[in-house]
Amino acid sequence: MLNKKGFSLIEILVSISVALVIMTGIFNFIQQNIILKRNIQNDYVLNEFAKEGIEVLSFMRDKNYQDGRSYSYNIDSATPRKVILIFNRTTNTWSISDVSSSETIDNCSVNNTCSIFNNNSLFIQDTSGVGLIRTNFSRLITITRNDANHFTVASESSYKENNIVKKKMKLVKELWDIQ
């Protein structure tokens, strides 16, 4: 007659194996959800930075109307113009800063000429970067004059990890002279 007072070594090993398989599945599920959440957040931020580029240029055009200037004053030129948007934290105003016409969202992300910085949860582009925390996001805007009455704004944003661009987003809008 067998003693039924305890578990055998085989029963214990089988129980531990089953528990480990279940725990591994749970940890993999949690890990995949964390990665998915980060990717969704990055997609959202990319979209917001690209939209902000379009909105700021639209605002600058409208401000030109209010100030009695040409709709394209200080915005476009005869040739395609590559720019970043600079937010002045003292005056709370936007300005445009030109970058090399050969810049693309890929190379300016890697060489940090169009990086976005974090300044106390205010995400900005700044040519100096002094006292700011560099994020993994970048934005480059291309302004192209189509004719005397309108120009095209292409706002591109990117996200990089380990100096490699992982994801890009591009939004394009036509801005017209509405007078």
Report which residue type is found at 104: T
Q: Which of 173, 133, 141 is nearest to 158 (CA)?
A: 141
For residue 171, the surrounding DSSP H or E stretch is strand 164-176
Against a cut of 0.85, is the pTM above it?
A: no
The residue type of 79 is T
Q: Which residue has the higher pLDDT, 165 or 19?
A: 19
Would you state the pLDDT for residue 53? 93
pLDDT at res. 129: 66
pLDDT above 70 coverage of the chain, percent: 95
∠ CA 103-109-112, nearest 5°, is 90
118-165 pLDDT tens trace: 877 778 887 666 778 888 899 999 999 888 888 899 999 999 988 888
Work out the average pLDDT over 67-81.
Answer: 82
Higher pLDDT, 15 or 76: 15
Is 90 exceeded by the pLDDT of residue 173? yes
Give how far Cα 162 sits from Cα of 6, 80, 109, 128, 157, Å. Answer: 54, 30, 11, 22, 17
- Tell me how far CA of residue 21 lies from CA of 9, 51, 89, in angstroms: 18, 45, 54
